Structure 1
């Protein structure tokens, strides 16, 4: 009887607190540096959420360890809805690569709020590279195992895993060359010292227009308006590759009351439903995709399963 009474009191307190939510500013933690696509998208959503919720949403960049620092910051925060995290590919991948240390469980330690967008990539190579299609890259890799290389902004990031996925799907051996950031990685591709790279769509339109790079494929389901003449990965002989496109979302610590989750989800949906926000995200190369908390939870689980298979098959490690 006493336990039932305490449970009822806790439930009632949660409902009452949710009715007043939010009563103070919120924090939106981003595990990457200011100015990148994740940061810009996060700040756009934060601005819109503040207008919907009637409280400031303060963005905090907690950088380091491929997003791990920010993730752990939110994991240990109170489950009151006032501390949120922008998740990327690394939310699942860090946990997979560090499974022996168990830094966190991507699902059990967090409360999904909503998906926000997907960030497709474009596969690029030097403009005068000896291959003009994905299949020519694959053929070269099969002819000389290990000689074809791909660049990334660091181990375990989206470009690294996209390259590992390509090698896995085509049963080839390619060499991963990590750099400290996208800019130096792309520089080496343009110089011809690294064979190719998967790069965020928004970042290479100028270099392609200037014929410093050529695009071999886009990781979208349909051809992209900004790359109308470039085939999709499916058209290039890699059906299903687009299913691995990086998704961005918002989560909070585990245990946020359902009424608070509903308010936060509504604020995100309102933001993504604004034409000006959708247009800005498109300019950043993002595909808008709002969801319910339940849909986001399901997607996170499926995404973890997808990348677990790739990481195992490709032998990807934390370092």
Structure 2
């Protein structure tokens, strides 16, 4: 046999050819997917403890949800899920750390709407993208807020509050736990939908804000329903309406803002589990299934219900869609309202 341009080469053995073809295919797939952040499958996950970051202080609602979920995942998946609090900047310090973490499922975030859909509009130089830099695992739970007023005011309905705000001509104050928090954005959504102006009085924390509404230094506020229920039941505050689309099971006699005239009004405090973008799909599925197991546990559900929470355990795809719609809704509100960090 005659060969042109080089010496004759011995034919590859069949096994060698198969190895060559397999190696070539693997190299081609790596080249195709290497830039997309897709990692190798990890069906044995988890093989070591994982860290669940919380962007708020210990003891608050976000921390409580994280600890319930962490304990449940530890039991279900057989490895410790350690809670680490990195408070500050509306939870964005913790979120940035997770966004930059290795996408292997061992560094996770317990995120909220304040961090993942409100903060991006507040912080123009935010060093992470809530959509591109995370793999949403599951929406875990939500809790409605309630609009309350000091009982000395002659206000009993949403329409009373709207009329009172118009009479005050932009001089009606409302309290919140700070810029960008659920209390703040709920009140701004209320103002926008009602076509009224109110003055934001931010406090350093929910407790301080509630204290001044109880003392009638500030006439009204939105805040998480479970926190305010004791004051409502004792008559120290008057409930006007809840912020969910449906009435809250823990307070069924309180109407919703939506049924009271501002149709479609909804503002919830919600909690979700996130992994860094590029986390293997099978790891995300294991975590997703783990959340379903945790939130199906009667004891965990009872603890969440005691805090006025509604279990929302979802699959990853549904959570991603919810994130997209929430980002549009609250991003637009932040821009229109000019909400800024302190």
Correspondent of 1:140 among 164, 172, 182: 164
CA apart distance, 1:7: 5.2
Q: 2:210 maps to what in 1?
A: 186
- Aligned counterpart for 1:92 among listed residues 117, 126, 130: 117
Q: Is the 8 A contact 2:182 2:269 kept in 1?
A: yes
Q: Distance in 1 between matches of 2:107 and 2:28?
A: 25
Secondary structure of the residue aligned to 2:40 is helix
Partners of 1:52 and 1:85 lie apart in 2 by: 18
Partner of 2:242: 218
Asked if the contact 2:53–2:108 (Cα under 8 Å) also holds between the matched residues in 1, the reply is: yes
Tell me the residue number matched to 1:75: 99
Distance 1:197 1:103 in 2: 32
Residue matched to 2:231: 207
> How far apart in 2 are the matches of 1:92 and 1:230?
28
- Kindly provide the CA deviation profile for residues 225-270 of structure 1, in whole angstroms up to 9, marking residues without a partner as x: 332321111122121112x323210001110010111111110111
Kept in 1: contact 2:120–2:331 (CA 8 A): no
Offset, 1:223: 2.0
C-alpha distance 74-143 of structure 1, shift in aligned 2 (>3 A): same
Q: Where do 1:14-163 residues align within 5 Å?
A: 14-15=40-41, 18-90=42-114, 91-98=116-123, 100-163=124-187
In the TM superposition, residue 191 of structure 1 has moved relative to its aligned partner by: 1.2
Which string of whole-angstrom CA distances, capped at 9 and with x for unpartnered residues, describes residues 198-229 of structure 1? 11111112111221111000112222233232
Q: What is the deviation of 1:88?
A: 0.5
Change over 3 Å in CA distance of 1:118–1:7 after alignment to 2: farther
Structure 2 residue ranges without an equivalent (≥5): 1-20
List gaps (5 residues or longer) in structure 1.
none
Q: CA deviation at 1:313?
A: 2.4
Pair 1:306 & 2:332 matched: no
Counterpart of 1:316 in structure 2 is 339
SS at match of 2:256: coil
CA offset digits 1:10-40 (Å, max 9, x no partner)? 989712xx12211100111111111111111
Contact map agreement 1:95 1:103 (CA 8 A) in 2 = no
* Distance in 1, Cα, partners of 2:120 & 2:25: 36
SS of the equivalent of 2:118 reads helix
1:257 to 263, 273, 280: 280
In the alignment, the residues of structure 2 paired with residue 207 and residue 229 of structure 1 have an alpha-carbon distance, to the nearest angstrom, of 15
Structure-1-length-normalised TM-score:
0.94
Counterpart-to-counterpart distance in 2, 1:39 and 1:88: 11
| CA–CA distance in structure 2, aligned partners of residues 30 and 13 of structure 1 | 25
1:8, 1:101 → 2: CA distance? 35
> If you compute each CA radius of gyration, which structure gives the higher value, 1 or 2?
2
Q: C-alpha distance in 2, partners of 1:249/1:89?
A: 9
User: Residues 318 and 3 from structure 1, CA distance in 2 versus in 1: closer, same or farther, beyond 3 angstroms?
Assistant: farther
How much does 1:73 deviate?
1.3
Change (3 A) 1:111 1:300: same
TM-score by structure 2 length?
0.88
1:53–1:139 distance in 2 versus 1, CA, 3 Å: same
Quote how far apart the aligned CAs of 1:3 are: 7.6
Question: Aligned residues, how many?
Answer: 315
